[in-house]
Amino acid sequence: MKAIMKKRLALIVAAALAATTVMTGCGSGNGQKATGAPAAESVAEGTAAGDTAAGGTAAGGTAAERADAGKGQEVQESETADPMAAITDDGTKKTITYWHTFTEGARKDYIDEMVAEYMKEHPNVTINVEVYPWNVFTQKWTAGLAAGALPDVSSVNPDNLFAINQAGAVLPMNPLIDALGKDYFLGKPLENFTDGDTVLGIPYYLHSYVMWYRKDVLEEKNLSVPKNWDELLSTVTAVADPPNRYGFTIAMSKNDQMCAQLLSCFAKAEGAPLITENNKGNLTDPKVVKAIQLMADLYKAGSPEGSVNYGLSEQNDVFFQGKSTFAFGSGFHINGVKQNSPELLDKIAAVPFTGPDGENLGATTFVIGLMGWNQTKYPETVYDFIKFHFEKERYIDFLHLIPGGQLPATAEAANSAEFYDDETIQKFKTEIEYIQEGIEKGTFIGMDYGLTPAASALTSQGIIEECLQDIVLNGTPAEEAAKKANDKLNAAIEILME
């Protein structure tokens, strides 16, 4: 039993470490702002009719349209008492520790200023801030779990949050949600951070994956934006002119999770889960096999030959530097192109992923959140400090540090004219609406039926990446490669579900 538990924890932590590549894989020269903000938390976006779950987009157009319609008509502030009044501060001296992962320039400076503001308003509270890149954060909390050296509050990504919950270290956010009201946050992102009735964390900013493309290249070839998989493959074939220009970079490094994320985008668009409701691998589903075959065909038609060993950083570099016509990623791609090839900024656009016949039934999302740790002595202070992040003006200032890359998690910000009052957001308004629509109906990879440990197997083991390599390097038929991958996936899931 101890061996199984050790293996299980290793798999979960491996998934959390793998997730760090989604956020830090760009490195220098691949889309950081002058301040150093990473362009590549950059893998996450999509589109479709809005979800109207609690706090989600209501009827009457997109959030941007509602914000335009509501200019000059600010939502009236409630005249009732502060909803956080139920979470009291007795005024005694307190010290809490805040771990965050905003290691670079503008965002680090912003957090430092916000913490100083909070302490000025709450002179009885001292906040000790520790800053770690994502890979160190994962190592730090896993070591701290055994040593009893954990923070009171931290930033968190989905894989880490799930692993921390599995380890029993999460402070439930339900009291904060109860105080603020169920509609304070957008419904679907909050649902994706909820396990049963327990709210594990609070979404801070959001992504969903879309397909980016070069408008000028398609115009040069007199081609339209692909609307289905056949058109995508024929377009990629037509524009590819290696080594001068590539079609669609398919990154297959087994040390990363790019194939898994891209497969999730295609599969969700056609309504096919990668993991079933019963926590079994679904890679042999004919719909999923068809998506795997498409990715192999896209590689053969127009991906750099060396991309069998590419991770996120190399994948993004090809597009950011103007060498690839298509790419998948989030709104962080805007900043990536701006910093690497500003002359191309007017030449890029994005559309939602589609299924083989042009359907768009789902999207793959990603969220950076905030969480409390259950060993804290001061849960009320943790709740109040997290709430402080979301005060409207302050929160929109934070989102605008990387416009288009950091999308709002609160209904107030998502529906406000102020959020859209930004040059970059206005320029890419259509793309950002696509991303928001994907957020409103999407889920994390492998979690179509809710939070599950099984999803970690998709992102921590290189199973999907190995499957694609098997097809393109060994000539293995897609059905056979998918069967082998599904067997490995189920073996990993079995350990995780013990």
Alpha carbons within 13 angstroms on the beta-carbon side of residue 194 total 15
Is 185 in a helix, a strand, or coil? Answer: strand
**Residue of 434, 335, 290 lying closest to 32 (CA atoms):** 335
8 Å CB contact between 267 and 274: yes
What is the per-residue pLDDT for 403? 96
User: 389-408, pLDDT tens digit by residue?
Assistant: 999 999 999 999 999 999 99
Higher pLDDT, 224 or 51: 224
Q: What is the mean pLDDT of the chain?
A: 86
User: Can you tell me the mean pLDDT for 154-178?
Assistant: 94
pTM attached to this predicted model: 0.85
Confidence of residue 1 (pLDDT cuts 50, 70, 90): very low
Structure tokens, 424: 């970059």
Q: How confident is the model at residue 159 (pLDDT cuts 50, 70, 90)?
A: confident
Q: Which run of H or E residues covers position 129?
A: strand 125-131
Q: Return the sign of the alpha-carbon dihedral for residues 42, 428, 364, 315.
A: negative
CA distance 201 to 190: 8
Gap between the Cα atoms of 45 and 438, Å rounded: 6
DSSP string, 189-209: HHHHTEETTEE--EEEEEEE-
Confidence at residue 12, expressed as pLDDT on a 0 to 100 scale: 59
Distance of alpha carbon 24 from alpha carbon 26, whole angstroms: 6
With beta carbons less than 8 A apart as the criterion, state whether 171 and 395 touch. Answer: no
Banded pLDDT at 11 (limits 50, 70, 90):
low
Segment 335-346, tens digit of pLDDT: 999 999 999 999
List the structure tokens of 306.
Answer: 């060396």
Q: What is the mean pLDDT of residues 370-389?
A: 97
Q: What is the pLDDT of residues 437-480, one digit of tens each?
A: 999 999 999 999 988 889 989 998 999 999 999 999 999 999 99
The pLDDT, as a whole number, for residue 409 is 97
| pLDDT-based confidence at residue 47 (cuts at 50, 70, 90) | very low
Contact of 293 with 232, CB cutoff 8 Å: no
Rg (CA), the chain: 22
From the centroid of its chain, how far is CA 322? 24
**In the beta sheet, which residues pair with residue 350?**
212
Q: What is the pLDDT of residues 285-323, one digit of tens each?
A: 999 999 999 999 999 999 998 999 999 999 999 999 999
Those residues whose C-beta lies under 8 Å from the C-beta of residue 26, and which sit 6 or more positions away, are 32, 38, 39, 40, 42, 312, 313, 316, 317, 336
Of residues 253, 214, 197, 233, the one with CA closest to residue 18: 253
| Whether 221 contacts 239, CB under 8 Å | yes
CA distances from 109 to 103, 255, 382 (A): 9, 32, 21
Report percent pLDDT > 70 for the chain.
82
Res 106: pLDDT: 94
Instruction: Answer whether residue 160 shows pLDDT above 80.
Output: yes
Q: How many residues in the chain?
A: 498
